[in-house]
Amino acid sequence: MISIVVATGNKGKVKEIAAALAALPVEVLALDKFPAIPEAEENGDTFAANAVLKATHYALHTGMPCLADDSGLEVDALNGAPGVYSARYAGPGATDEACNAKLLAALADVPQNERTARFRCVLAYVDPDGALLTAEGTCEGTILREPRGTGGFGYDPLFLLPGAAKTMAEMTIEEKNAVSHRGQALRNMATTLARYIHENRRA
């Protein structure tokens, strides 16, 4: 059994990751098991850079393998913004509602057929010995003019999936995980990590 630290304080995300890796011989540990560790600085200019920064930071400080993710929303009409600044688009500590309001204001004059966007997630796994594995997932959609649904978080109420005719916030957790960027990235990481563990056990 391999213990893996997940670089997040979000308990829901920890459960989601633990479920995705349930078939592997791993134990998933949350960051709250290591309260003395300083918070990682996310100053990368891409999702991949931030995920690797976080995974490397916590692997170094815990001496254990670490899995980190970085994700956000890319809006084509805004040249990919808010991107890596998705969580703080309306400023440090901004609420989801404030970020959504800023996004709607930025897109006020953009017609519906030009409001294409995607959620993107990159996962990085780093061993204390320096091994690096990455996986990613992308979910395409469009941005509505007003929020719909009460589930999810972040930009979910504004993000419409054309094939489902629902926003992310109108989906059940199971429906969302089946199509979401993080769900895709986790499935890809589970496959990659299973191969890595198998190869290292044989070595």
Residue with structure tokens 């993000």? 159
Q: Is 76 assigned a catalytic role?
A: no
Catalytic position from the list 32, 69, 70, 76 = 70
The annotation status of 33 as a binding-site residue, yes or no, is no
Quick one: which of 152, 178, 154, 150 has its CA closest to 164?
A: 178
Tokens 């990613």, located at residue: 136
93 is in an annotated binding site: no
Closest CA to 85 of 95, 98, 77, 74: 74
HEC-encoded secondary structure of 102-156: HHHHHCCCCCHHHCEEEEEEEEEEECCCCCEEEEEEEEEEEECCCCCCCCCCCCH
CA dihedral 39, 60, 135, 7 (to 10 degrees): -30
| 10 annotated ligand-binding residue | yes
CA dist list (Å): 155 to 62, 91, 119: 32, 15, 9
Q: Tokens standing for 157? A: 């109420």
182 is in an annotated binding site: yes
Check whether 155 is labelled as a binding-site residue: yes
Question: Known binder of ligand: residue 69?
Answer: no
- 9 labelled ligand-binding: yes
163 is in an annotated binding site: no
Q: Is 151 marked as binding a ligand?
A: no
Structure tokens at 126: 């780093």
**Is 63 known as a binding-site position?**
no
Was 13 annotated as part of a binding site? yes
Q: Is 116 labeled as ligand-binding?
A: no
CA 91 to chain centre: 19
Specify binding-site residues: 8-13, 41, 70-71, 153-156, 176, 181-182
Q: Which residues are annotated as a binding site for Mg(2+)?
A: 41, 70
Question: Which residues does the annotation mark as catalytic?
Answer: 70
Annotated binding residues for substrate: 8-13, 71, 153-156, 176, 181-182
